[in-house]
Amino acid sequence: MKIRLAYGKEGLAVELPDHATLIEPDYIPSLPDETGALKTALRNPIGTMTLRQATIPGHKIGISVCDITRPIPSDRILPVLLGELAHIPPSDITIFLATGTHRSNSNQEIESMLGEFVVNHGCKIVNHDAFDSKALTRVGVTEGGIPVFLNKEWAGCDFRITTGFVEPHFFAGFSGGPKMVAPGLAGFDTTMALHNAEMISHPNARWGITKGNPIHDSIREIARMIPVNFSLDVTINKNRGITSVYAGNLFEVHRAASRFALSTAMQGVNKPFDVVVTTNSGYPLDMNLYQAVKGMSAASQVVKKGGSIVCVAECSDGIPDHGRYYEILTSAESPTALLDMINTPGFDKHDQWQVQIQALIQAESDVYLKSDFLSDNQIKRAHLIPVEDVANTVNHLMGKANNGTICVLPEGPQTIPFIRR
């Protein structure tokens, strides 16, 4: 069968075995009137006053938004949100790009994300920098001992608003909501503690699980330290169309959006597969190898131990060239050796959590990578197997498995498969 895989901006058509099990997200059509739905949610919030009731001229307003690695349609959301803040001078509104420990977004990327109207509206736009100690303020310590540093300007706002899109997340349970504060606007030391080896290896730190998830619990605790006054979360389909909207209290909104995402994005299968073909949902999610680990993680949920994962991720932004992900990844001779190194007491390096997750997957399965922007040498140094032609690679693997079972995730982690128990 011919299947179009999400790959970069254009996609990739491949011929795969007819007996392949196809797992895609339930297609939810975009809301017929996105602007109307946004206005309705904002004017009928869950558990809070409306923005017009809760804010007054003179308030300094902070709005946390996703960075370029997330496909949220901020260019359609923010104009409506700003319309509800029309009584606030734009000069008193700051839009914070919640980059976490990612790189800063370029001016071109900012205009692409936020849209011309927002960029020219007169609001201040800030690229969060987790590594700039002067731009951070210490706000406390969590019960688990995590030192909490947050963006100083964000903490100094009179009224704080988060905007996010909610989908299952591979170790925090779900994206959006309180993640727009931590790690989105947190300092490096906070993120390191939040993503340490013990937290990442916890059995509940996984897709779609919030109850008993130590990472999710800590994120919520941090978000309470400098309270969010209002939250707007959406769910989206593969075309970036908004499928549901929730506004109001941070935690109530996130719970409602997570329930919706869980009902549409998680799909069960009866048995694991010999081969799983996955993507990282195309651009912008597959813009680098670091992000592509999420697609590998989705596939790992349903691949047999000793099976094979074929990950299709364009990686137009490379490894990337910031952080220490690739440095750590290439510093040991095998995934098992990487895990031993990361679990050594005192080992504490930026991006170790992403390497840990990738190594856990690779310790159980062979992982192949199709990328038009990474060299074979770069791929091999990451303990991955380069793929020139996806169909040929799959045919080879199916031959090794005696024409065994194969699963395809054309949209990658937009759908999270799981084994029914």
* Residue 313 sits in the same domain as residue 223: no
Segment 30-43, tens digit of pLDDT: 999 999 999 999 99
**What whole-number distance in Å separates Cα of residue 177 and Cα of residue 156?**
20
Among 238, 264, 290, where does a domain finish? 264
* Residue-level pLDDT at 371: 98
**Domain match, 346 and 249 both:** no
Helices 107-114 and 74-83: crossing angle in degrees, nearest 10, is 70
Rounded Cα gap, residues 147 and 214, in angstroms:
15
Please determine, for residue 298, whether its predicted confidence score (pLDDT) is greater than 80. Answer: yes
CB proximity list for 53: less than 8 A, separation 6 or greater: none
Domain membership of residue 369 as a residue range: 2-25+270-419
Q: Do 121 and 13 lie in a common domain? A: no
134-176 pLDDT, tens digit each: 999 999 999 999 999 999 999 999 999 999 999 999 999 999 9
Whether 244 and 366 share a structural domain: no
What single-letter amino acid sits at 191?
T
Backbone angles phi, psi at 9, to 5 degrees: -90, -20
- The whole-number pLDDT of residue 393 equals 98
Predicted pLDDT at 26: 81
**Shared-domain flag, residues 238 and 327:** no
For residues 51 and 231, give the distance between their C-alpha atoms in angstroms, rounded to a whole number: 10
- DSSP letter at 28 equals P
281 and 377 belong to one structural domain:
yes
Q: With CA atoms as reference, report the closest residue to 99 among 66, 76, 72.
A: 66
Which one of the listed residues 59, 128, 169, 322 is annotated catalytic? 169
Q: What are phi and psi of 352, to 5 degrees?
A: -60, -30
Question: Is residue 284 reached through a cis peptide bond, with omega within 30 degrees of 0 on the bond before it?
Answer: yes
Give dist(CA 312, CA 2) in Å, integer. Answer: 15
Residues 152, 126 contacting (CB under 8 angstroms): no
What contacts 36, CB < 8 A, 6 or more positions away?
none
pLDDT in the model for residue 294: 95
**pLDDT band with cut points at 50, 70 and 90 for residue 70:** confident
Same domain for 274 and 260: no
Q: What is the CATH number of the domain that holds 21?
A: 3.90.226.30
CB atoms within 10 A of CB 48: 17
Q: What pLDDT shows up at residue 301?
A: 96
Output the pLDDT for position 181: 98
Q: How many angstroms separate the CA atoms of 165 and 168, rounded? A: 10
Same domain, 193 and 78: yes
In tens, the pLDDT along 333-370 reads 999 999 999 999 889 898 999 999 999 999 999 999 99
Give φ, ψ of 10 to 5 degrees: -105, -20
> Would residue 269 be called left, alpha or beta, if left means φ above 0 and alpha means ψ between -120 and 50 degrees?
beta
Q: Are strands 12-15 and 2-5 parallel, antiparallel or unpaired?
A: antiparallel
The per-residue pLDDT for 177 is 97
Lowest mean pLDDT among 4-13, 358-367, 408-417: 408-417
Q: Does residue 197 sit in the same domain as residue 226?
A: yes
CATH number at residue 106: 3.40.50.11440
Residues 85 and 11 in one domain: no
Helix (H, G, I), strand (E, B) or coil at 168: strand
The residue assigned the tokens 């690779």 is: 362
Q: 25 versus 215: which is more confidently predicted?
A: 215
Radius of gyration of the chain (CA): 21
Contact status, residue 365 vs residue 307, Cβ threshold 8 Å: yes
Distances, alpha carbon 198 to alpha carbons 285, 330, 347, 404, in Å: 26, 22, 12, 36
pLDDT at 69 over 90: no
Same domain, 18 and 89: no
Among 232, 264, 296, the domain-final residue is 264
Asked if 405 and 275 touch (Cβ cutoff 8 Å), the reply is yes
Q: Are 73 and 30 in contact (CB under 8 A)?
A: no
List pLDDT tens digits, range 194-212. Answer: 999 999 999 999 999 999 9
Sign of CA dihedral 356, 359, 363, 365: positive
pLDDT for res 322: 77
Residues 6+ apart with CB under 8 A from 34: 76, 241, 242
Q: Which residues pair with 308 in a beta bridge?
A: 275, 366
Is residue 144 within 8 Å of residue 218, measured between CB atoms? yes
- Cα dihedral value 224, 227, 232, 236, nearest 10: -30
pLDDT digits (tens, 9 = 90+) for 224-264: 999 999 999 999 998 899 999 999 999 999 999 999 999 88
- Domain check: are 246 and 345 in the same one? no
Q: Specify whether 102 is catalytic.
A: yes
Among 264, 293, 319, identify where a domain stops: 264
Name the burial class of residue 353, with classes exposed (0-12), middle (13-18) and buried (19+) by CB atoms within 10 angstroms of its CB: buried
3-class DSSP state of 191: helix
102-136, pLDDT tens digit by residue?
A: 889 999 999 999 999 999 999 999 999 999 999 99
Out of 59, 102, 195, 322, which one is annotated catalytic?
102
